A and B are shown apart, each in its own frame.
Chain A
Amino acid sequence: MTEMTYAEAIRAALREEMQRDARVFLLGEDIGRYGGAFGVTFGLLDEFGDQRVIETPISESAIVGAAAGAAMAGMRPVAEIMFMDFILHGMEQLVNQAAKVRFMFGGKATVPMVIRMPGGSGTGAAAQHSQSLESLLAHIPGIKVVNPSSPYDAKGLLLSSIRDLNPVMFVEHKLLYKTRGEVPDNEYTIPLGVAEVKRKGKDITVVAGNIMVPRTLIVAERLAKEGIEVEVIDPRTLRPLDLDTIVNSVRKTGRLLVVHEAPLTGGWGGEVAASVASSPAFAYLDAPIRRLAGKDIPIPYNRNLERAAVPQEEDIDREIRMMAQNKY
């Protein structure tokens, strides 16, 4: 095992897969000498050259379209969209083209591409550089959405994403890039569509994604000292969603809270809540299913307002206590 950051784990996955498979190449804005806006691809240009690490003009629509076209023609592109917000430029190419090509062609085409993009707030980047659009992406049939919360998961999931034959949206979080964790030295992959129970507990199930996983784990440790045992589940991929792991947990705990940074309305928490409510776990519920999500507002600039816009540790703490005490 080696301790590394989330960003280093992503870079390690890119490096390993580029060494293993000559079809894999990177494209994106400033991903060469600069190393990408968050330094994730730093050093890869020197290692692989400019035919494998391709710097693009600021043309997100064409980046997504070119990735899709290259994938259809047999390559394995991994595109970086500098901020998740800018994927919106490429939604035509992603949603109307990449996501549907296989189906429209009767299963006779594959589009093995990955788009990496950092989402999330907390850096003071305000409304156009801080969104969590993963729920919007997860709504689209034909694409997969990956949402890693740790260096270990990021590396294993990225390797699986690159090897996957479908368009995969790999949603990173800006605040996680510098977080550290143990990563095995040998090759490993994590299958898409398999959740992980990050912490076992018997009193309440909290399904959290991305940055909300470490926040929930900190709260869970604190609450354990007070006798509230929280089971924390990280779905790791939002589409496909591993409902079985969640349902099994809720049958045990009888309580479900979903925590995500994306805005509440139409957020993926609603999908989890509805799925559990219509599953056999419904009969085991001792409390209403609750969602704790980003407020239905654009992300503000001011530090205090920005914090207030999305769930923080104290919000998660308060919500779990309320549910554990049957106060809602």
Chain B
Amino acid sequence: MEKITREETGYGIISGEERFLSKISQLELTDDELVEMYSTMCAIRRFEIEADKLYAMGKVHGTMHLSAGQEAVAVGTWRAVRRDDYFLNNHRGHGHFIARGSDINLMMAEFLGKETGYCRGRGGSMHIADVETNNLGANGVVGGGISLAVGVGLALKLRQDEHIVVVVFGDGAANQGILHESLNMSAIWKLPVLFICENNHYGMSMEVRRSVARLPIAQRADGYGIPWKYIDGNDVLAVLETMRIASEYVRSRQGPMFVEAETYRYFGHSKSDRNLYRTKDEIESWRQKDPIVRFRRELVVAKIMTEEQAEQIDQEAQAVIDETVRFAEASPEPEVSSVTDYVYA
């Protein structure tokens, strides 16, 4: 059987500082941009850890799905894609929202169910959305956003709008039947849809090698004539580079593209998860490939920032998150008398 391997990025600390420098030069990234990317990755990690803490403290009414460990996919993607491009997210969506530039205060307020939240406390973590900025929301249904993205892509095509639509889903969603219909429909109509499969190895407790007949997932795109890439999702520059190519292809109206980014989530699936399906060793082995640690080391070795600066940026990220918690906790609850509002326009 033909062997399909992930695209090796061929650079990074292991390959030496020079290759890293040549990559950032090729990607035309300034030092400020690189540091900002690192800073955003820290913000996501801090947000997720804070969310977990708030839950442990009993301050969160509902559930949550945390993306710690997957930061490079979010940050690399939204550095490549326009921030006003349409977006459909999944239930594990905090990271992409932060990377896209969503207001963290409004996210945290929504997470705590407050009237000031993005959805006035009606949606919670799984339904954060901001339609005004073309962010059509996270989704509580695995694969729920995929066919909506086809519709957005169709709308963009019909009105000759230059935006594209990005839809992010996991390896679990890849086994929903709707992906088949959606890939086919977007391919026959050459819709401007960028399909991003964030393969974090688990659909809840089901390991991807047990749930997918043939890996990588992205090779399924061949069946629809859709170009695809399978990349190291813990390498933020590899993600950025690939998403640039992919989004340019999609924006040029040649049709959809499919990118699978391999990554790993550290936290459990949701609050009920006791991590019975994977070993501590496995989690530890992925921590050795942590996207933030790796990028930080690369930036320090390349003398783009110092260890002290890196540490300070991380602490500043925490300070911002602390402020969001203060904002959210001080925000009012929705009025109970408004419970039936917003069902119909």
Contact = CB atoms under 8 A, between A and B. Distances in A.
Interface of A: 25, 27, 51, 54, 56-57, 59, 61-62, 64-75, 77, 92-93, 96-97, 101-110, 112, 141-142, 144, 164-166
A51 B131 contact: no
Given A105-B119, A109-B129, A73 B137 contact: no
B119 A62 contact: no
B151 A66 contact: yes
Contacts of B118: 105-106, 108
Given A105-B129, A108-B119, A73 B152 contact: yes
Interface of B: 86, 88, 117-123, 127, 129-132, 136-137, 139-141, 144, 146-156, 158-159, 165, 177-178, 181-182, 184-185, 188-189, 341-345
A141 B339 CA distance: 13
B151 A72 contact: yes
A170 to B, nearest CB: 16
Contacts, number: 147
Contacts of A66: 147-148, 150-151, 154, 185
A105 B127 contact: yes
B164 to A, nearest CB: 12
Contacts of B155: 69-70, 73-75
Contacts of B159: 74-75
B342 A106 contact: yes
Contacts of B345: 102, 107, 110, 112, 164-166
A65 B178 contact: yes
Which 6 A-B pairs give the minimum distances between C-beta atoms?
A69-B151, A65-B147, A106-B120, A107-B342, A165-B345, A69-B148
B341 to A, nearest CB: 6
Nearest to B121: A106
23 contacts: A57-B181, A57-B188, A59-B185, A62-B185, A69-B149, A69-B150, A69-B155, A70-B151, A70-B155, A72-B136, A73-B156, A74-B159, A92-B178, A93-B147, A97-B144, A102-B344, A103-B343, A105-B118, A107-B345, A108-B118, A108-B129, A112-B345, A166-B344
Given A68-B148, A108-B131, 12 more contacts: A59-B185, A62-B181, A65-B151, A66-B147, A72-B131, A97-B139, A97-B148, A103-B122, A105-B127, A106-B123, A108-B129, A108-B130
B119 A106 contact: yes
B138 to A, nearest CB: 9
Most buried by A among B117, B141, B165: B141
Contacts of A110: 345
Contacts of A25: 158
A61 B146 CA distance: 11
A62 B120 CA distance: 29
Contact of B177 (A61, A105, A144, A165): A61
A105 B131 contact: yes
A308 to B, nearest CB: 37
Contacts of B182: 62, 65
Contacts of A142: 343-344
B147 A104 contact: no
A102 B181 contact: no
